[in-house]
Structure formats: C-alpha cells, structure tokens
Chain A
Amino acid sequence: MIGLSYYIFRRQSVTDTKEFITAGGRAQLGLTTASFAVTWMWAGDILGVPQYVGITGVAGIWMYAAPAVLSSFVVIPFALRMRELFPQGLTYSEYFIERFGDWAHLVVILVILYTMVLGGVIQLFVGGAVIGGLTGIDANIVMAVLMGVIGIYILLGGLWGSMTTDFVQFVSALALTLIFVPLLLLEAGGPGQVYSQMVTNLGEQSASFLSMANFDAIEGLFLPYALGLGVWGVVSLATWQRVFAVRRDKTSRFLTIGGIGVFTTIAMYSVIGFVGLASFTDVAPGNLSIEALGLMPDWAAIVFLLVALMVLGSSVDSYLTAIASLTSRDIYYRHINEDASDGQQLRVARGASIGFAAVIFAGTVFALGSISFVQLLLIGGIGASALVGPFALSLFWKKASQTGFVTGVVVSQLITGYLLAASYDVVVTTPTLKLWEIMAIGHLVSTGLTLVVSGASPDDFRFESIAQEAPSVAADGGVEGGDDE
C-alpha cells in the first residue's frame, strides 16, 4: 500500500492542495465508484452483519444493508446541487462560509469532525476485535500497527493515494465475499446443510429467523441505522471528497452503482452469520462472526485476515484524508491563517493525518473496553441528525438564515446529547428513550428550528452570488465552452 501510494504521488503530481484533497476533480467512474463503495462497505460489516443476523435472522440482511445504501440515494440531490454551485469546489464545508458565514461553518466542521473521528474509531474497533480475536494478538498492538501503516501512505498520496489504495482494497473485498465466504459455507457443509442445521438449532425460533418479514427488531436495529448512518452520507466528508473528485457528468451514476453494489457485499457477509447460527447454539450474536470465521482452515483464516486488513484500511484512510482536508482548509486556512501558502496548507493536512490517527487510536482503545460494536455503530450516526435537514434547507430555500441554521444544529446536538447520556445513565438518568427516537427528535428539532427561526428572521439569499465560474470543458472532455446551468 505504501509503495502504491508513492507511485501515485509521482504519477499524479500530488504537490498541491487541490490534488491532495480532491484528486483534481477529474477522477474516472471506475476508480471513484470502487473508492466510494469500499469506503461504505467497511470492515465493520464483517462484525455488524453477522451480529444483525444473530439477533433477527435473515431479516437482518435488509435491516443492515438497506439503511447503509440509503446514504448513496439520499445524497444524490445534494451532490448535484453542490456540483452545480461549486464545479471546482474543494471541500463542501466551505459552502457554509459562502452561504452563511463563519459561525455556521464553525458549527458544521465541529459536528463533522467528531462524526469522522467516531467513524475512524468504529473501523479500528473492528480491527482490534476481529484480528485480535482470531490471532490472539493484543488488540491494542493490532490497532497501533494499522494506524501506523495507514498514516504513512496517506502522508504520501492524499486523496489520490487513498482512492488508488481503495481500488486495491475493493478487489480485496471482492475476494472476501466471492471466495472466502463461499469457502466458509462449504466448510460448514453447503447451503442445504447450513439451512437444516439452522432449523434444528433455532427450534421454535426458526420460523421467525428464516422470515424476511420478521419485523421484531425493527426499532432496535433498522430505525436507528436508517435515521443515523442511513443519512450519514450527506454529512460524511469522505463521501463529499469523492463527489467532488469524480467527473461532474458521472455524479449520480457513481453514487447509484456504488450504493447498490454495497448492498450485495453486505448481503454476502450475512452468510458468516448463517454459518454461525448453524454451527453454534450458545454463542452471543456479537461473537458469532469470530466464532464462525474460526471454522475456516488455518491457511484460509490467515489470508482472510490479510484481506480484511486491507478492507479496514480503506475506510480508515478515507476518514483520515477527510479530516486532513477539514483541518487544512476549513480550520487552518479559513480561521487561522488566510495568507497560508499552498505548501503550508499541505503540511498542515499531512500533520493532521498523523495527529488524528493518534486520536482515533486512543478513542478506540477506550471504546473497546466499554461499549458493544453495534451500540458504537449506531451511535456513530447521531451527528447526521443535526445536519441533514438544515443543510437541505440551506441548499434549496433562499430564506434559510445563519441564525436559523446555527440554532437548529446546536440545539439539536445539545438535546440529542442529553437524551443519549440519559439513555446510557451517564450523569443523568431520565428520560430513557430508544436510540431511533433520539435520532428522530434530533432531525425534527434541527429541521424545525431552522425553519421557524429562519421564518422569523429570514435571509434573502441569491444562490447565483456564490456559484463559481462555469467550467470550460464539455462532457466529451475536449470542447471549449461554458456551462449554462
């Protein structure tokens, strides 16, 4: 990965901030789709999907996968609007400066920053749990080595490096789902044997566990995922980097193919859960994945681990490049040193990659000993509930004002933070709400307050005032001429 990233560093001339952060805005469909897909088909799926299957059976497939791909669908109108306004934009958070001002920008980058750090923690959690669990190596050592390697290749290539290594990792993910998962299935006796063994082990529960229409866990598993991570794509800097990296005429195509493709990958990971249910009768859903993977022959388990490492790296490096972009452009350049040279910004971006790698590592060490994976996964989407509604209003409603936007986001985060703390008995104990209810309240408060406060103190924003100069290259790549949109 480091060698490949160095090759990209030389080939794509990653010597200025625009190349480092947006890959020049000209990346092709295959590379970007692979990069987008592998960023979303994260290593967390190896733990998360079997755990969902262990809790609710075959319905766990769509309860996990449908919200996960929903992001790709929901983000399409946002992406088209943003690329219309900012054909050559660097980071989407800069939009908030142009649209509202410094306060809205500051609020957005703080929410995004902790959201992206949480995303990195989720990934590294999987590395520690799966690789440490299967090999017996201390989880902290596994995580430290992972962060070291990923940090080095991000230092070299930026987004070009991340996207190219993503492509290798995409092929690796295919190997996991197309070769190793079927191999595991065959080791367990094939689909027929797994089915009959599941029916035997599950007993009376088999009717509900083998029904796609088993809605028992919809409140605990589907709704919080749909209301949080299901719209996280709109908030995720990793998504926006890829939206701005791909050719503009391929924007909805790469989101569509990448999103739908992620569903099939997640669905294949469910087989690990089926094998676990067929092979064990007394294993907790959270341990189903590691126990089932332990059924593979030793050589296959080792290769599986190596490939899983690459898949895991793809997501963590995406978060690190996104955080580097945020720190360099949105915090350092916008709020600290507006005269910063390109070289200075690039140094800050690289420094941030390393600094936040350490923060993510420390956060994961803490999380590994204090919270379950699915809890961490679902809580990770909480930031989205504050941003999605106000962001949509700001893009399509000229009366949305900075006061309304900031009020909506800040109050929503304070309320959801309080409700979350109360639900987990941290400092406060009441009221106790379900996670999906907390997220729904977050969406309602953020969107409602932005509407009400903006209605009381409206802006009269002219979107054409922030639209960048029209591009000069037509979709066929060679014809000079403007874009009249």
Chain B
Amino acid sequence: MMGEGLFTGMIVLFWVAEALFGALVLYWFLTQGFDSDKDTAAGGPVELEDSSATIKSLGMWAVFFGVLVLGIIVGA
C-alpha cells in the first residue's frame, strides 16, 4: 500500500509529464506549422525514416515500459 507521500508524488509526476508532453507538441507545431515545404508538397512524400530513428523510438518505448513496471513495484 502506497503512503501519502508516494501518492502525492505520483500525482505531481503525472502532472509534470503531461505538461512536458503538451509543451513538446506545442513547440513542434509552432516551429513546424501544418505541412512540409513547397518542394515536398510538389514532389511527393519524403524518404522513409532510417533504422536509427526507429531504434530511437523503440528505445523510448523500452524506457517507458521500464518506468511503468518500476512504478508498479514501488507502488505495490
């Protein structure tokens, strides 16, 4: 059973994570806009991502699931 401190910390952690997520997406939108530049629009879709980009994404998922399991163990 989690204590009061852990319960409060969990809610604060969720709030901070949500704020960071929102800030990142807003930053992307403000700096990139709606669509790619005119050359891209005229010429067709860009190249598919390379394997390093995919590995980086999978790494983020691994960290996420690791933190989730850790949270379940710590909050047991």
Interface residues of A (CB under 8 A from B): 11-12, 23-31, 33-34, 37, 58-59, 62, 66, 73, 76, 80, 83-84, 87-88, 160, 164, 167, 170-171, 174, 177-178, 182, 185, 191-192, 195-196, 206-208, 210-213, 247-253, 255-257, 259-261, 263-265, 267-268, 270-271, 471-475, 477-478, 480, 483, 485
Contacts and interface: CB of A to CB of B under 8 A. Distances in A.
Interface string B40-76: 1101111111000110111011001000100111111
Given A210-B2, A478-B37, 17 more contacts: A26-B36, A27-B34, A28-B29, A58-B10, A171-B26, A191-B8, A211-B1, A213-B73, A247-B45, A248-B46, A253-B57, A257-B60, A261-B25, A271-B14, A472-B43, A472-B44, A475-B49
Contacts of B37: 477-478
**3 closest residue pairs by CB, A with B:** A30-B28, A212-B75, A30-B29
Given A30-B30, A185-B11, A264-B14, A248 B57 contact: no
Contacts of A80: 48-49, 54
Contacts of A253: 49, 53, 56-57
A25 B39 CA distance: 13
A interface, over-half SS = helix
Contact of B46 (A12, A182, A211, A247): A247
B interface, over-half SS = helix
Nearest to A251: B49
Contacts of B33: 28, 31
Interface string B11-26: 1001101110110111
Contacts of B58: 76, 252
B46 A471 contact: yes
A212 B35 contact: no
Contact of A28 (B28, B43, B64): B28
Contacts of B45: 25-26, 87-88, 247-248, 471, 473
A474 B47 contact: yes
Contacts of A27: 34-35
Interface of B: 1-2, 4, 7-8, 10-11, 14-15, 17-19, 21-22, 24-37, 39-41, 43-49, 53-54, 56-58, 60-61, 64, 68, 71-76
A31 B34 contact: yes
B4 A268 contact: no
Given A195-B4, A213-B76, A477-B37, A267 B43 contact: no
Contacts of A73: 61
B14 A24 contact: no
Contact of B76 (A88, A211, A248): A211
Q: Output the residue of B27, B36, B61 with the most chain A CB within 10 A.
A: B36
